[in-house]
Structure 1
Amino acid sequence: MALTMSQIMTLLSEHNLLIEKNNEPNEPTNFAHVTYDSRQVVPQTLFFCKGNFQAAYLTQAKNQGATAYVAEHYYQEGTGLTAIIVSNVQQAMALLGAAFYDFPQNKLFITGITGTKGKTTTAYFAHGIQNAQTEGKTALFSTIDRIVGPKPEQQFKSNLTTPESLDLFHDMAEAVASGMTQLIMEVSSQAFKKNRVYGLKYDLGIFLNISPDHIGRNEHPTFADYLYCKEQLLRNSKNVIINAETDHFDEIYSAAQGFLPEENIYLYARENSLISFETQVDFEFAETRQDLSASEINVHSYSDKGEQLQLDGTYEIDIPGDYNQQNALAAIIAAGMAGASATEIRQQLPAVRVPGRMEVFQTEHHGTVYVDYAHNYASLKSLLSFLHQQEPDEKLLVVTGSAGDKGISRRSGLGQAIGEVADVAILTADDPATEDPIAIAQEIASHINNDQVTVQIVADRKTAITQAVQLSQPGEIVVVAGKGRDATQKIQGQDVPYESDVKIVEDLLKER
């Protein structure tokens, strides 16, 4: 792993990013390290000044041995260092990071997955199937976990859905060095907006769905911007799989057609769906069995390219929820395109488990508890509606909150979903960040437009979960939504240890 000044100048010039470079007497010709974190700087480091940058970081980098920096303007603190001035430092960092790690993306079959809901479940479905089919040679970059190799230390918790570009290419390079041949990765809208995946091409892109989310300060200013960023996956993939039932399908499909021929676009939908276009889907599925623990679907192909994958037949899914059937079909098609046979998929799909997704806990004297990461209108409404359909006569209790400093639009959506389906809501802290969790809960409550819903606000999340479970009666349903197995809470700029929703529920069951 190395990078030369000649490579840097060539790449930045080719992408019209280079503005100028100063000429220092002892200009470095080679770099042995790259980073955007001044604490990680060692001698011969190329340092990137990105994001909410403070000049003191450059001073620290210089003192620790950095020999050049990349930035969008000069810093006095960088006097004596070679300065490479670019028009977009995030794009430059992605390009140079890929080059430093010897373009690991070219040595992997990469499947990228985007959507407002279902990314993580689809990623786990696809990874479970393809990892078995490749005999352990499939990496995973998800919201929950990152798997870059077979060793225990190569499987760790993620801090971002899609990591910063230098971290992304570092992990790809480690995956390649560990013998991985395929990569399943979630791709967030923020990854495109902030150029974390600039220049990255996907062998296969999956577009699951779109609905308003991540709109507010520090994120997307409008839904149009959110949709545009999501569509970048279609523009940067060799082949795409699209859920034809998604909202805004016409626009999404047109975006794909603008960059790919029809033979590289695969569409899927539920049987007899009302879809706002005339083009035939490549795959349809029908539910053949459904309960609160598992389901079964039958898949049928309708096009020549669909039939060539030979995926027709019945598949069992051991994660409940009719919305997970769509996620499973996306993963089935993706696995088929990556080389898995229908027989291999049928064998592996039922074994897939997703940490913190629809985890079910049966209590002895209270209701059944479901722990899930649902955190916006689309995901919470789908979850609550499914459970209500399965047990229409039972009371439905919900514990949830919303993150601070981001996703402001989620709060009204959570309130709306609760008002449409739930009977009891206990609103609590999620990741409040710099905001008051009670104020966030009150905002959610203001959007519960249903006087029949009993609403409580309990600031401490563990207390809220405990009260919900104890309040429930046998046969009733308790949904703990938002954090799943997340073992920290973001409070005032710190990651504060948190037992996790799952652990709290498990401990409650042990007490009885």
Structure 2
Amino acid sequence: MSLKINQAIKILKQHDLLVSSKVTDPDKVLTNISYNSQEDQTNGIFFCKGINFKPDYLKQALTSGAAIYVAEQQFDDQADHLIVTDASKALAVLSAEYFDHPEKDLFIIAFTGTKGKTTTAYFIYDILKEVYPKKVALFSTIDRIVGPKPADEFKSDLTTPESLDLFRDMRRSVDNGMTHLVMEVSSQAYKKNRVYNLTFDIGGFLNITPDHIGKNEHPTYADYLYCKKQLLVNSKVNIINRDTNDFETVYDAALQTSSADDIYLFGRDQSKDHLDFLLTSKEATLKDSLFTISAVSEKAEQLKVAGDYKLGLVGDFNEVNATAAVLATGLIKMPVKNIYDGLKGAHVPGRMEHIVSKDHGTIFIDYAHNYASMKALLGFLRKEYPESKIKVVVGSPGDKGISRRAGFSQVLTELADSAILTTDDPGFEDPADICRQIDEKIDHDKVSTKIVLDRQEAIKEMITNGQPGDIIVLAAKGDDPYQKTKGIDVPYPTDPVVAKSVLRDIEGE
């Protein structure tokens, strides 16, 4: 991979990003690209980006061999440099060029939503594998899969990676023979220009509710909504949940770049206009969900995906994600049998995993991490198990998503019988303070609560005290193998592993 300096200048001018430049040799070929000063910089282009950037980082990069730097201001007037209006946008367009535009060799399906985008991505991934085995890449909150070998699969640190890492992983995927890519696109991906100038073949919008509002994320809900809907503006064909909040705003965003014929709407409410597909629940058990997708428009009938489906994941709320996956794969002419088989065998790590104990209730493990997803989860369980006590272990992250805390307070008051509040990625905040913020807004006449900061101990206590018939929910962490604490990823066994270990200790086997 390489990038000529004069080509970089040309691209920056095309995007109206270049302010000024100092270049000794415009024909110089750069063979490295980085925004991390601790990486190898030999003959490279280094990007000074981020609100926490320090001039010392640039000094380190230049000392390590960087040939030129890109920044929004001049840090070193002696070194070759390109001054730009936006370093993050410059990083995106130059990374795409450096890695020889791997996005052009991939059919990319991308989804966004406050809840459900990870599950939807896995559903699409599982379906595509039915027809394109060892040809499908996945960029999700949980895993990054860039090839067919075990070494090509690793844990994600961001829902949508930084643009340089995104294009690097796309290049790895293409070089490994991948033809399709399924990815989640977060609101932060647009807020921070991680997917700037990237066009998706199919884009999907699942839902939106207030979340990720805070000093380190989005300043307002309006900003959050604006960033979310950019996925539709930058997709050729769009799939939208007709039941989402702010539907008209979302739909208008899709119309900015797509015709109405390239926008597919689905939902549960058949009274709404412009609906293409109607979703109807049939039956939900502990092991799966049965649902029907009906075509209610001529455009929908032509897609030929209407019918009954079985989802190998419990929860009627997951049927919405599954319907989105059916439409996405139907749009690329996947045979219905393969769509059906893919959904039937679908598995999402840390999503609605369940363990039936002998004497301590049924344990559900799910990533539900905000009011909307928790309400969907607990509401489903309350409906399916009306006589059971619902007991929840949950925490909330530090440094972001502050509004989630009040959301947890509200949903626990509405739907839980008891809760243990615990630690979940506290960052640089005190986890005890986070738990107290959740606890102080809970109606304790309706819900009994306790704070146990050690998450493993909290899970152990809840399961050990569980009774036959109880529903125990381990929420918000899922299959995450780390606790993010004071800038360090501290290894954590994951909630499923902890739960199974506790059951072995108290029940044997």
* Aligned residue number for residue 414 of structure 2: 420
233, 245, 257: which is aligned to 2:231? 233
* Aligned residue number for residue 136 of structure 1: 134
- Partner letter of residue 48 of structure 1? F
**Aligned-partner SS, 2:347:** coil
Deviation of 1:450 (Å):
5.1
8 Å contact from structure 1 (residues 245, 273) kept in 2:
no
- Partner letter of residue 15 of structure 1? H
Q: Percent identity?
A: 48
Report Cα offsets for 1:423-461 as digits up to 9, x if no partner: 001001101111111110111112223512101111111
**Aligned-partner SS, 1:39:** coil
**Aligned-partner SS, 2:213:** coil
291, 305, 310: which is aligned to 2:304? 310
* Aligned residue number for residue 373 of structure 2: 379
* Aligned residue number for residue 173 of structure 2: 175
113, 116, 132: which is aligned to 1:115? 113
399, 424, 430: which is aligned to 2:424? 430
Distance (whole Å) between structure 2 residues aligned to residue 55 and residue 145 of structure 1: 33
* Aligned residue number for residue 294 of structure 1: 288
Deviation of 1:42 (Å):
3.2
8 Å contact from structure 1 (residues 292, 387) kept in 2:
no
Deviation of 1:492 (Å):
1.2
- Partner letter of residue 73 of structure 1? Q
Whether 2:39 is the aligned partner of 1:40: answer yes
**Aligned-partner SS, 1:132:** helix
* Aligned residue number for residue 383 of structure 2: 389
Whether 2:208 is the aligned partner of 1:245: answer no
- Partner letter of residue 176 of structure 1? V
* Aligned residue number for residue 151 of structure 1: 149
Distance (whole Å) between structure 1 residues aligned to residue 194 and residue 502 of structure 2: 41
* Aligned residue number for residue 50 of structure 1: 49
Distance (whole Å) between structure 1 residues aligned to residue 428 and residue 27 of structure 2: 42
CA-atom RMSD, angstroms?
1.2
Deviation of 1:317 (Å):
0.2
* Aligned residue number for residue 29 of structure 2: 30
Report Cα offsets for 1:188-241 as digits up to 9, x if no partner: 000000000000000000000000000011100000000000000010000000
- Partner letter of residue 198 of structure 1? Y
* Aligned residue number for residue 8 of structure 1: 8
Unaligned runs of 5+ in 2: none
* Aligned residue number for residue 73 of structure 2: 73
Whether 2:442 is the aligned partner of 1:444: answer no
- Partner letter of residue 122 of structure 1? T
Deviation of 1:391 (Å):
0.5
* Aligned residue number for residue 86 of structure 1: 84
**Aligned-partner SS, 2:236:** coil
**Aligned-partner SS, 1:20:** strand
* Aligned residue number for residue 61 of structure 1: 61
After superposing the two structures, state which structure 1 stretch, 451-460 or 111-120, moved more. 451-460
Aligned residues: 505
Distance (whole Å) between structure 1 residues aligned to residue 293 and residue 352 of structure 2: 23
**Aligned-partner SS, 1:37:** coil
352, 356, 359: which is aligned to 2:346? 352
Deviation of 1:346 (Å):
1.1
> TM-score normalised to the size of structure 1?
0.97
Distance (whole Å) between structure 1 residues aligned to residue 276 and residue 387 of structure 2: 38
- Partner letter of residue 32 of structure 2? H
8 Å contact from structure 1 (residues 415, 447) kept in 2:
yes
8 Å contact from structure 1 (residues 292, 390) kept in 2:
no
Distance (whole Å) between structure 1 residues aligned to residue 26 and residue 255 of structure 2: 47
Distance (whole Å) between structure 2 residues aligned to residue 340 and residue 27 of structure 1: 48
* Aligned residue number for residue 330 of structure 1: 324
8 Å contact from structure 1 (residues 420, 450) kept in 2:
no
**Aligned-partner SS, 2:290:** strand
8 Å contact from structure 1 (residues 299, 314) kept in 2:
yes
Distance (whole Å) between structure 1 residues aligned to residue 331 and residue 61 of structure 2: 45
8 Å contact from structure 1 (residues 318, 350) kept in 2:
yes
Distance (whole Å) between structure 1 residues aligned to residue 155 and residue 348 of structure 2: 13
Runs of 4+ in structure 1 off by over 4 angstroms are none
Distance (whole Å) between structure 2 residues aligned to residue 293 and residue 16 of structure 1: 54
Cα distance 1:23–1:3, how it changes in 2: closer, same or farther (>3 A)? closer
